Amino acid sequence: MGNPISRELFLERARFRFGNQYDYAEIIYKSYKTPVRIRCTTHPVKQISITPEKHLQTTGGCKYCLREMRIASLERELNRASPASRALVKLLDQPLIQQLDQPPIQQPEPQPAPIFHKEK
Ligand SMILES: [Zn+2]
């Protein structure tokens, strides 16, 4: 009864699957389905809140690692593709904010009203 997977078993499975990719020092293990806080050792900027179950079923929960994996697999797929497709991958790798950071459309300067010289 109780937890089908204990803290020790979870850590054992997690380390077997991910090696030293994740830091489990700060976890408070309650159950297999209660979120714990882990940290990606490659991207330690943000703690990841994930259930032990999800952690073992997915790539671990680090969105940065997931993104790198997706880009890597996309690049593998496009390995035999045209250079144009590779350029697209590079484009996808750009932060979204840069793509949106286009200069505003220039409005034409209002022309000053023509000055008519008064005849003397
Ligand atoms: Zn990561």
Ligand 1 geometric centre to CA of 38 (Å): 11
Ligand 1 geometric centre to CA of 63 (Å): 7
Q: Does the predicted model carry a pTM greater than 0.75?
A: no
pLDDT at 114: 74
Domain limits at 80?
A: 64-95
Ligand 1 geometric centre to CA of 31 (Å): 24
Give the tens place of pLDDT for each residue, 46-78: 899 999 999 999 999 999 999 999 999 999 988
Give the tens place of pLDDT for each residue, 3-59: 579 999 999 999 999 999 999 999 999 999 999 999 999 999 989 999 999 999 999
**Are 70 and 53 part of one and the same domain?**
no
**Are 20 and 56 part of one and the same domain?**
yes
DSSP bridge partners of 37: 49
**Are 18 and 53 part of one and the same domain?**
yes
Ligand 1 geometric centre to CA of 66 (Å): 7
DSSP annotation of 48 reads: E
Total count of domains within the chain: 2
**Are 70 and 44 part of one and the same domain?**
no
Ligand 1 geometric centre to CA of 119 (Å): 79
* Structural domain includes residue 25: yes
Other beta carbons within 10 angstroms of residue 61's beta carbon come to 18
